[in-house]
Amino acid sequence: MRRPRIGAICAAVALLAIACGTSGPAERADPEVEQSSATDEAPTAQVDLEPTTTSEQVAAATADSAAPVVDAPTRSVSFSEHVLPVLERSCASCHGPDQAGASGLVLATAADAVEASTYLELVTHARSMPPWPASALSVEFEGDTSLSDDEILAIADWVAGGSELDIAPDTPIVSSRPASYLEDPEIVMTSAAGAFAAPEGTRDDYRCLVFEPGNTEKEWILGTHFVPDQVEVVHHGIITLASAELREQAAWLDSLQEGPGWTCFGGTGLQTNEGGETFRLGGWAPGGQPSRQPAGYALPLDPGDFVIVQVHYHYEDDYPADLSQFQLDLASDEEIEAVGGEFKTLRGQLYLGPAEIPCYAGDTHPLCDRDAAVARVQELYGQFIGGLPNYFLWQCGSTPEDYAHMDQGDAWSTCDLPVKNPGRIVSVTGHMHELGASIRLTLNPDTPEERILLDIPDWDFEWQFGYRPVEDIVIDTDDIIRVDCSWNRERAPYEAVGYVLWSDGTGDEMCYSNITTAPES
């Protein structure tokens, strides 16, 4: 798994003899499409396929957000008044002891900040830390860790003035935000059949692994957290809760292949039409945080229920055995009593647009033919996944010809979709792969009520968050959500060969988003 921006920063810091590293925390990104999505009713409205966010706009937005140039101290700053509050608000929740970013940098005390001061100046000046891809065009979100120009200048001035402390070096740096992990999960699960190791030569595998909660009475899930073991090969995880009636099916699928679990591109493979239920429990992609239910909401966990974690493994040269964890935070008896014994549950809806990225003009590679690229996807991932590129075109009222002129390396798509999960928006998320340049979700576009729910003008695969609006935004079935995506063939750390389509491999692409709502009644 690449970390291009951090890698470049680490190289620069190494010249300054500063230790450097990073580790993404780990909520939902719901990165792939469920099988049931292919049967959703298609919208009938035609869609304007002009780009909403082009690569030029991405470049302009990036330039606009560049940190101010700092040549020398411009004011007197103190660590306790100007720097410590920034570290406690935007850094310590991930870089505190035993937290997700501690493998790269620990900020436990004021002395740690002094030792890492040059690094702190560098990464904040570059706006690579703290990560917050959403732009100011988005609605306001909870937990915004981004720094203002004044805060970036304060750190730079402090470092330029000698990184001096006006408090004791052993003063703790205490996070003012929730931890980037579940502090005391009641259930910690791994694959019931042990670690999964892919055969050498595997490029991408979607592996469904059974995890056993082991509860003997009904519980209510307040929080979930997926913890990847081998972070270099775990591309994402999608978690499904399955009822006891589906155990025999899962056991049969597991028996068809050697090793833990079974290959499951597209979905789990479980059929619910003959009894049993499945429920999307959450997901993880790099940068994802723990998923915590809002007050009054929880997910039921009945005795006999089991969890299927669909892990997308992507391999380059190494094939380590992976034993990732899934953790559950459960409601106490007192919390269950407070809601009268029954919590309400959230609902989610996927908003998916086409991903069509033609080759450069003049490229004669055989896979530059779109039909050949579709055939490749079908061969690698099966008929269902192979049918998605054409399905999304149909759903959004477009054709391959609408994308044929996008042969200079940039491509974009837009799609208007009706709301089917009415209620108060709890979280919004977007997902693409490594060619992704930008993604935007707009509520009721081209109307007086238009609102940009999420705008990420410079997509970074390493930081995929579930964004929670501060204000109450209620959507209904007469509302429209527009999803806009753009890509650039030069952004990936590999050669993008052929016509790139929506598909499951890391070298393929997506235009994927999800909105989770709390029903009004």
Domain boundary among 305, 329, 344: 344
Q: What is the mean pLDDT of the chain?
A: 84
The verdict on residue 75 lying in a domain is no
Domain co-membership, 504 together with 404: yes
Query: What mean pLDDT is predicted for residues 470-490?
Result: 97
Location of structure tokens 């979905």: 267
Domain co-membership, 494 together with 381: yes
Query: What mean pLDDT is predicted for residues 471-488?
Result: 97
- Report helix, strand and coil shares of the chain as percent, to nearest 5: 25, 25, 50
The verdict on residue 121 lying in a domain is no
The answer to whether residue 14 scores a pLDDT higher than 70 is no
The verdict on residue 419 lying in a domain is yes
Domain co-membership, 325 together with 415: no
pLDDT value of residue 75: 63
Name the more confident of 223 and 94: 223
Domain co-membership, 443 together with 509: yes
Distance CA 241, CA 211 (A): 10
pLDDT value of residue 521: 67
The answer to whether residue 3 scores a pLDDT higher than 80 is no
3-class secondary structure, 436: strand
Q: Residues 185-242: pLDDT tens digits?
A: 999 999 999 999 999 999 889 999 999 999 999 999 999 999 999 988 998 888 999 9
For the record, the structure tokens of 436 come out as 């992704």
pLDDT value of residue 274: 66
- Nearest alpha-carbon partner for 311 in 344, 262, 351: 262
Name the more confident of 459 and 6: 459
Q: Residues 375-417: pLDDT tens digits?
A: 999 999 889 899 999 999 999 999 999 999 999 999 999 999 9
Location of structure tokens 């002395």: 111
Sheet arrangement for strand 278-284? 262-263, 204-211, 306-314, 234-242, 278-284
Domain co-membership, 325 together with 370: no
- Three-state DSSP string of 128-163: CCCCCCCCCCCCCECCCCCCCHHHHHHHHHHHHCCC
What is the pLDDT confidence band of residue 178, given thresholds at 50, 70 and 90? confident
pLDDT value of residue 164: 95
Query: What mean pLDDT is predicted for residues 420-434?
Result: 94
The answer to whether residue 517 scores a pLDDT higher than 70 is yes
Range of the domain at 511: 348-518
Listed range (50-59, 243-252, 267-276, 455-464) with the worst mean pLDDT:
50-59
What is the helix (H) or strand (E) element at residue 117, kind and residue range? helix 117-125
For the record, the structure tokens of 283 come out as 């997901």
Q: Note if the bond before 130 is cis, omega within 30 degrees.
A: yes
Domain co-membership, 227 together with 192: yes
Listed range (63-67, 82-86, 185-189, 499-503) with the worst mean pLDDT:
63-67
Domain co-membership, 219 together with 335: yes
Q: Residues 350-380: pLDDT tens digits?
A: 999 999 999 999 999 999 999 999 999 999 9
Name the more confident of 494 and 396: 396
Domain boundary among 344, 372, 387: 344
Q: Note if the bond before 286 is cis, omega within 30 degrees.
A: no
Domain co-membership, 422 together with 476: yes
The verdict on residue 237 lying in a domain is yes
Maximum CA extent, the chain: 71
Question: What's the CATH code of the domain at 310?
Answer: 2.60.120
Domain co-membership, 326 together with 442: no
Domain co-membership, 194 together with 315: yes
The verdict on residue 479 lying in a domain is yes
Q: How many domains does one find in the chain?
A: 2
Name the more confident of 33 and 454: 454
Q: What are phi and psi of 249, to 5 degrees?
A: -60, -45
The answer to whether residue 17 scores a pLDDT higher than 60 is no
Domain co-membership, 298 together with 409: no
Contacts for 139 with CB less than 8 Å, ≥ 6 apart: 451, 452, 453, 454, 469, 470, 471, 473
The verdict on residue 84 lying in a domain is no
For the record, the structure tokens of 464 come out as 């995929």
Name the more confident of 20 and 98: 98
Domain boundary among 344, 359, 377: 344
Among 58-62, 268-272, 415-419, top mean pLDDT goes to: 415-419
Q: Residues 149-163: pLDDT tens digits?
A: 999 999 999 999 999
CB of 288 closer than 8 Å to CB of 177: no
pLDDT value of residue 289: 78
The verdict on residue 169 lying in a domain is no
Domain co-membership, 362 together with 484: yes
Query: What mean pLDDT is predicted for residues 309-315?
Result: 92
The verdict on residue 487 lying in a domain is yes
